[in-house]
Structure 1
């Protein structure tokens, strides 16, 4: 298999800019070494080409937490294949900027690739980020209006104090709902993690498939609920030029946009999303 010229040119052209700190993450469709694949040997020339390209681009694997493989196919022991096709790589400048970077291989049930969670912040920093944010999904809960009225009536202070009590009450209320949702999936998710780490045999693969089906069924039920609730609110608010409606429509777009990145010196950095296939 020959490395696509355009992809190789793009990676190398980015690597020539020594001032750019960059990180590439996703499915590279190739493994680095033979032990990163279980069953069926990989062509050594392809692996060597992959390693040489990363070396020429001065990109280093940042490591991972979780199961060693990120892709799996085959429901029978004799056909089951496991490979580490997904990874995160970065140059030295980027790693120096985010020395605590963690790439986690998360449990999955839909795709044959596991999702990757990239965490560049320390645990202590996450704890300090405790600002109040109104969650749009709160208003989709049937008990939301009742909860707001109850919290407001229970508070006996002045206006500012009542608002503070309402804020804290909503945070606790929303937290309890999330905990209850997590509990409904905790047992099958933990079982899926245990099965994914075990050796593959007929019983393991059969139980693994059944657990994924049950977990997917619960997820689909949850999605149906949210679609229904979103539809109800759309019908209720679409003809009203309200702040609520506009926040519902634009919140996801705002959340997913990265306007710029800055390093510790305040210099604006380049943010790139690269999909590389080898």
Structure 2
């Protein structure tokens, strides 16, 4: 789990000693190994290791850290505590580390996730992170391990990739969270109808004057797309710029009214206030549509959530890699381009 809490190692240790565990998830039995100072752009390795005391696990962990060049490592369910956990952490050979003892039971995990407003960052790689069974009729799998973050964190790291690594030494896959991947795929976004246009007073007029009943459906759709693109530039405009412009005008007019009010300014100020309220409503509709979070009704004014949900959806839709004919996953840009 990733949050945007900026605490130093000393602050975390003091809070733990004081018994402040109010932000810890239920059943949080965690060993966290901090390899390098936290950088805004870093690679995070998270692993439900199902036991961290053996020398075999130590070799596996060091191999993974070297392979993926992880900056932060989080180990869940180490199945050790107290002095044994301290000894294991020291044996990994890292200078900085901390651990959190188990708190509560797993039954409260879902409530904790909902309370903290955490968002699933999606995945790349094998669909299951946990499997069990040695034969086809007993094999079972599930995605039990996920990378979750809060709204502030995804706003700062919108290009984050989450990969499921190969399972070994545990029946859970290690998860690699890469915050350094912000490359654009360079594709042009196709035309998309915006529900916010419906609230504009001239929308119906644009449709009625452009749609030609004598033409076929495909021609009309093409003409409507062209007309809407021009209409956005000349009439509807950019919502963000319009919002800022209205705020600036309102500020100036209200300053003038405080010095010398007269009817023309009062009427203009009332109109601009209504225009700004309408613009904010259009902005909410825009982000609500982009987020595709159907369980929230328009009117919640939760713009921050809509924006974050949109960024997560875009990250999930981004092509992080392809499989070749040998069922091998290719993530290197040159390899992917060669395959295509």
For Structure 1 versus Structure 2, the TM-score category normalised by the shorter chain is 0.3 to 0.5
More helix per residue: 1 or 2?
1
Larger radius of gyration: 2
Using CA pairs under 8 Å that are at least 6 residues apart, name the structure with larger relative contact order, 1 or 2: 1
